[in-house]
C-alpha cells in the first residue's frame, strides 16, 4: 500500500503510534524505508543499472564493486529454486516463489547465503527479488542487498556470515516454517532437518526424499573463503 501510494507514510506512522505506541517495531521499519529512499535520492548510482542501459547498480561504498564474484549459473539457479540443501534458505526462497513474500529474517539469511557462502554477485539476488517480491521497492531492496554485501550504508560487516544451521535452530526450532514450505521434509524428524548437513546421508535423494544434500559441503569453509576474498580486495 505504501509502495503504490494507497496510503501515505505519515498516515501509517500515526496509525501505528495510536494503536501500538511510538516504540512499536514497525516504526523502526518505516524509518529504514525513509532512510533508503534518501540514500537512493542522494546517491542515484545505487540504482544506475535500472535507469541507464549498459550500467550496473553501484555499491554505495564503491570499493566493494571490485569484489571478484563467482559466476556459477548452477549455484544461482539452485538458490533461486530453493534447492540448495540448506532448509532455512530454501524455505524462504520457496515462500517467495509461491506467495511473492518472504519473512524479513529469511530475506537476510538468504541474501547473506548467496553473497557470503555461494560468492555470487549481490546484484543478481537484488534483481531476482525485484522480479518476484510483491512488496518490491527499489530503494528498500537496494538497501537490503547492499546491507548483505557490506557495501551499503550501515552495512553488515563483510566478515559476518550467518550460519544457516544456527539461524534455523534459533528462529524455526520446530521446523514449522521449513516444513510448511518444503513438503519433501514434512515427514523428516526435526532433529534431522536441523542437522541436514550430516543427516542427509540417511535419506538418499534417489528413493527416500527428493530434497537435495547441501550444495556446498561446509558453509564454514566458504565463509573463510569469502572473508579472504573481501579482505584481499578491500585492503
Dist CA 41 CA 35 (whole Å): 10
* Ligand-binding site membership of 135 (annotated): yes
Which cell numbers in the block locate residue 51? 535507469
> Which one, of 217, 213, 200, 219, lies nearest residue 113 by Cα?
219
* Ligand-binding site membership of 137 (annotated): yes
SS3 label, residue 14: helix
* Ligand-binding site membership of 147 (annotated): no
* Ligand-binding site membership of 127 (annotated): no
* Ligand-binding site membership of 31 (annotated): yes
CB 6 within 8 A of CB 23: no
* Ligand-binding site membership of 25 (annotated): no
> Which one, of 115, 124, 123, 118, lies nearest residue 148 by Cα?
115
* Ligand-binding site membership of 36 (annotated): yes
* Ligand-binding site membership of 220 (annotated): no
Alpha helices in the chain (DSSP H): 9-20, 25-42, 48-51, 73-81, 87-99, 104-112, 122-132, 138-149, 164-171, 176-181, 190-194, 196-199, 219-234
* Ligand-binding site membership of 33 (annotated): yes
Q: What angle do CA 180, 185, 187 make, to 5 degrees?
A: 100
* Ligand-binding site membership of 86 (annotated): no
* Ligand-binding site membership of 34 (annotated): yes
Q: Known binding site: residues?
A: 29-36, 135-137
Q: Known binding site for FAD: residues?
A: 29-36, 135-137
Amino acid at each position: 500500500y505504501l509502495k503504490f501510494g494507497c496510503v501515505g507514510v505519515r498516515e501509517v506512522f500515526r496509525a501505528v503510534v495510536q494503536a501500538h505506541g511510538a516504540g512499536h517495531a514497525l516504526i523502526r521499519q518505516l524509518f529504514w524505508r525513509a532512510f533508503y529512499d534518501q540514500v537512493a535520492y542522494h546517491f542515484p548510482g545505487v540504482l544506475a543499472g535500472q535507469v541507464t542501459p549498459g550500467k550496473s547498480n553501484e555499491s554505495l561504498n564503491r570499493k566493494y564493486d571490485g569484489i571478484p564474484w563467482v559466476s556459477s549459473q548452477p549455484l544461482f539457479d539452485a538458490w533461486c529454486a530453493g534447492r540448495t540443501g540448506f532448509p532455512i534458505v530454501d524455505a524462504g526462497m520457496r515462500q517467495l516463489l509461491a506467495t511473492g513474500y518472504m519473512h524479513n529474517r529469511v530475506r537476510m539469511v538468504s541474501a547473506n547465503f548467496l553473497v557470503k557462502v555461494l560468492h555470487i554477485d549481490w546484484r543478481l539476488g537484488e534483481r531476482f527479488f525485484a522480479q518476484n517480491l510483491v512488496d518490491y521497492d527499489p530503494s528498500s531492496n537496494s538497501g537490503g542487498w547492499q546491507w548483505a554485501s557490506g557495501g551499503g550504508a550501515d552495512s553488515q560487516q563483510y566478515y559476518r556470515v550467518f550460519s544457516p544451521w544456527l539461524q534455523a535452530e534459533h528462529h524455526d526450532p520446530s521446523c514449522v516454517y521449513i516444513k510448511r514450505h518444503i513438503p519433501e521434509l514434512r515427514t523428516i524428524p526435526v532433529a534431522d532437518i536441523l542437522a541436514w548437513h550430516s543427516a542427509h546421508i540417511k535419506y538418499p535423494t534417489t528413493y527416500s526424499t527428493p530434497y537435495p544434500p547441501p550444495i556446498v559441503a561446509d558453509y564454514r569453509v566458504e565463509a573463510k573463503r569469502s572473508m579472504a576474498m573481501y579482505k584481499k580486495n578491500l585492503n
